[in-house]
Chain A
Amino acid sequence: MVAHMVMYDEESRRIEEICHKLNRDANARVVFVIDKNGQLIASAGQTEALDSTSMASLVAGEIAATGGLAKLMGEKEFSTLFHEGTKDNLHISLVADRVILVVIFDSRSSLGLVRLRVKKCAEQLNQVIEDLGKRSQSQGHQTPFSEITDEDIDNLFSV
């Protein structure tokens, strides 16, 4: 069985900082960090107008489908995807085989700049993910849910 993914305050703050820095340095509109299973981890920039939950699920689906294609072709993975729109562009990259970095940018930036900044940022993100893995291991598999009662669960459905 696969373990839970757990996010702690410190790593969450570090990932938020990386997102904000990338958003600034790449002149991007929005930056997202998404778990490979489609859960949103962090975001920066003009996120208000975007349905981030839907976005996270679709991007994860796309990365999964691309991974399937890579496997068929005998590639380990296709780690970067790029979608060019008329106004906005989407740069998607897989980091540490665990999280997905999404950058939305318009004509104020360029693919070259985004690629450059993403590469640098991916190294930092990689480090945080490694630290997160170590912390999860050292803190064991205790979850805040280990002490919930059947009544707590029933209460969720009583409304």
Chain B
Amino acid sequence: MSFINYSSREINCKIVYYGPGLCGKTTNLQFIYNKTSPTAKGKMISLATETERTLFFDFLPLSLGEIRGFKTRFHLYTVPGQVFYDASRKLILKGVDGVVFVADSQAMRMEANEESLDNLRDNLKEQAYDIEKVPLVMQYNKRDLPDVASPEDLSRRLNYLRRPEFNAVATTGEGVFDTLKEIAKGVLQELKRGTR
């Protein structure tokens, strides 16, 4: 749910990075944080375990500039990917405006990707969102690793909603900003339509 403030002339939107454990959601945010100018970003918060696995969420506020006299701010969140943190994932999806689904390209993680995507659909439904109507971008991460499934295979198995899709290597930043731009556009276009 975006927040439009006529008084401060700001619009705030919430984007959630979703996906199975260790797929690179936090790495996406870290790369964005490292490559964004200090004036456009706030502090990045990571609520993680001692072994640096996401425990609750990561949070990164970004300012993208003005549109029609309104400052546009995006709040980027990640969810904990591990299966047993489902209660936390549900909470973070509350009020979401757009979702980036980060898939792990490794062939052996295909089932984990499918399970996480199903989980996203179910959790969105629980918040009265329909996955077919929420702005969603697919990212096939870890393209640099050996034994990865082909992009075509990933697309066929995961992108049944035919949403924009990108190959990525979040550790080097490949595809990270393309994904972010696409989801930001999707969210703004949804606002423009005003159908929500």
Interface residue total, chain A, C-beta cutoff 8 A: 43
B189, closest chain A residue (CB): A153
> Could you jot down 17 A-B contacts, CB within 8 Å?
A1-B128, A2-B1, A2-B128, A4-B3, A4-B191, A12-B8, A37-B14, A37-B95, A53-B61, A54-B61, A64-B92, A65-B88, A142-B194, A145-B67, A148-B68, A155-B67, A157-B184
B contact set with A: CB distance below 8 Å: 1-8, 11-12, 14, 42-43, 45, 47, 56-57, 59, 61, 64-65, 67-70, 72, 75, 87-88, 90-92, 94-95, 128-130, 133, 181, 184-185, 188-189, 191-192, 194-196
- Smallest CB-CB separation from B14: which chain A residue? A37
Closest to B69 in A: A144
Q: Which of A9, A39, A146, A152 has the most CB of B within 10 A?
A: A39
Is the pair A146, B6 in contact by a Cβ cutoff of 8 Å?
no
Residue of A nearest to B77 (CB): A57
The answer on a CB contact under 8 Å between A144 and B70 is yes
Query: Which A residues fall within an 8 A CB radius of B?
Result: 1-9, 12-13, 35-39, 41, 51, 53-54, 57-58, 61, 64-65, 67-68, 141-148, 150, 152-157, 159
Interchain CB contact under 8 A, B67 and A152: yes
Interface centre among A3, A12, A145 (most CB of B within 10 A): A145
Are B67 and A157 neighbours in the complex by a CB distance under 8 Å? no
CB distance from A1 to the nearest CB of B (A): 4
Known: A9-B7, A37-B95, A39-B12. A3 touches B75 (CB 8 A): no
Residue among A5, A51, A150 having the largest count of chain B Cβ atoms under 10 Å? A5
Distance in angstroms between the alpha carbons of A120 and B118 in the assembled complex: 45
Q: A13-B7, A37-B95, A51-B42 are in contact. Are A145 and B57 (CB under 8 A)?
A: no
